[in-house]
Chain A
């Protein structure tokens, strides 16, 4: 059984369903990248797993326990961390405070978590006392990912982590994502920047109109001309 198993997920915002029976698997140490055109339901699927979107039908099981409709604030305790695309740092709090909040649920682990995160993102060490709102986009993304890693989650979900970043920062973020997965953490990532993301994906999931269109190792999807033409912009 995979660490995360979603089967036939139906859900969306208000009365409107965005997801129409989506399946998704993610295993420990695996990088799973969800790609697809705008409106495909990529971010909605991730929010459904994170407990931020109501699941109307289907099942989401994490570590053997059903989590569909579990409160979002409890997910971090279960080992499931979510990094939204926008507004993913607390701007008036310093970098250190942002990271410490990542261990809010288990404060005794703050020191160990901080050391681990600063080893992964050493650039943040010099910015510890700087308000997160004053950082560049790439640095904010590091803080957001670092905060999600503070309690050593079993699954981290990243919604468009490379959005708006320079190519240098994109490469850095993807490299760190691989390092996180090597530590045994399952990484679930939604990306518009599909080609470089699929290049590092153990599993690529193509969504369109709220349904699964293809699932295969990332490089295999990249090599498929039909997928490239229909979903990856040629």
Chain B
């Protein structure tokens, strides 16, 4: 039981929390602006590297650098929107998707130029794990889970209790109706980018803390993020967050030695779980697990 929790469930929750934050941002963008944002992984990577600059330059911890990462990533998202997506707002979603792919390549190229391809780390050192009745949890894992929970609660409050969040949900329901109701569409779009960029940057720092930083780190979680968003019903932030958690747990549990001590799936293939989920969902239930459930 302890090994299941220590080596599979907790890492699964951590991975799921990162996927959930990334997928929620994707889902918000899809809901409000109606296109699949392929540069989302690069926002995540940019946030991670922005935090690295703050960690090295100011000598602060990566946790303390999260607000700076958000402050750096949000203007990048706004700039990409203004330079590329806003001009294509009335185009087909496929055109926006391709432009976001180009944006991803540009941001990644900048990261390669600035930091090179070598994996980097925040250098947080060795911190003893939390131990309780046989259960062990890395402190960084506890912080990531707590941080993701705080982000989810903040997002929930924003969407359900605030005037701006209500306008975002209205835009996701029907942008034309929102416009004639007097909603400032441009302001809602700016807010959506800010929220999605903040989630992506935070997820990037979490991923950097848990593993290492590479310019392709965001692209590597993009497929899983899309799979999570589709699993929960793309355009539904809560569904996407839940989809992320399910996917993170599924990836980690896929290599659990359930039979004869042999992993169900070789750990080398566990990233394929997201791909499998994506394919199965698109065939069986493309509207997501939770659509039509109230």
Chain A residues close to B by CB (< 8 Å): 50-52, 72-77, 82, 84, 87-93, 97, 100-102, 104-105, 107, 131, 147, 151
Contacts and interface: CB of A to CB of B under 8 A. Distances in A.
Given A87-B174, A88-B177, A93 B166 contact: yes
Contacts of A74: 182
Nearest to B172: A92
A102 B166 contact: no
Interface residues of B, number: 19
Contacts of B172: 92
B173 A147 contact: no
A107 B181 contact: no
A90 B170 contact: yes
Contact of A84 (B163, B169, B180): B180
Contacts of A73: 179-180, 182-185
B167 interface: yes
B182 A90 contact: no
A90 B165 CA distance: 14
A76 B173 contact: no
A93 B180 contact: no
A76 B169 contact: no
B179 A101 contact: no
Contacts of A50: 180
B174 A90 contact: yes
Interface of B: 163, 166-167, 169-170, 172-174, 176-185, 294
A93 B182 contact: no
Contact of A104 (B163, B174, B294): B163
Contacts of B174: 87, 90
Nearest to B164: A104
B180 A101 contact: no
A104 B184 CA distance: 9
Contact of B183 (A88, A89, A92, A101): A101
B182 A77 contact: yes
27 contacts: A51-B180, A52-B176, A52-B180, A73-B180, A73-B182, A73-B183, A75-B180, A76-B180, A76-B182, A82-B180, A84-B177, A87-B177, A89-B177, A90-B169, A90-B174, A90-B177, A92-B172, A92-B173, A93-B166, A93-B169, A97-B166, A100-B166, A101-B166, A101-B167, A101-B181, A104-B166, A104-B181
A129 B180 CA distance: 23
A105 B163 CA distance: 10
Q: Which of B172, B181, B294 has the most CB of A within 10 A?
A: B181
A15 B231 CA distance: 41
A91 B173 contact: yes
Contacts of B178: 90, 101
Given A73-B185, A90-B174, A92-B173, A104 B167 contact: yes
A105 B177 contact: no
A72 B182 CA distance: 8
A101 B184 contact: no
Nearest to A97: B166
Given A84-B177, A100-B163, A101-B178, 14 more contacts: A51-B180, A73-B183, A75-B180, A77-B182, A87-B176, A88-B177, A89-B177, A91-B173, A92-B169, A92-B173, A93-B166, A93-B170, A104-B182, A105-B182
B170 to A, nearest CB: 5
A74 B182 CA distance: 6
Nearest to A102: B181
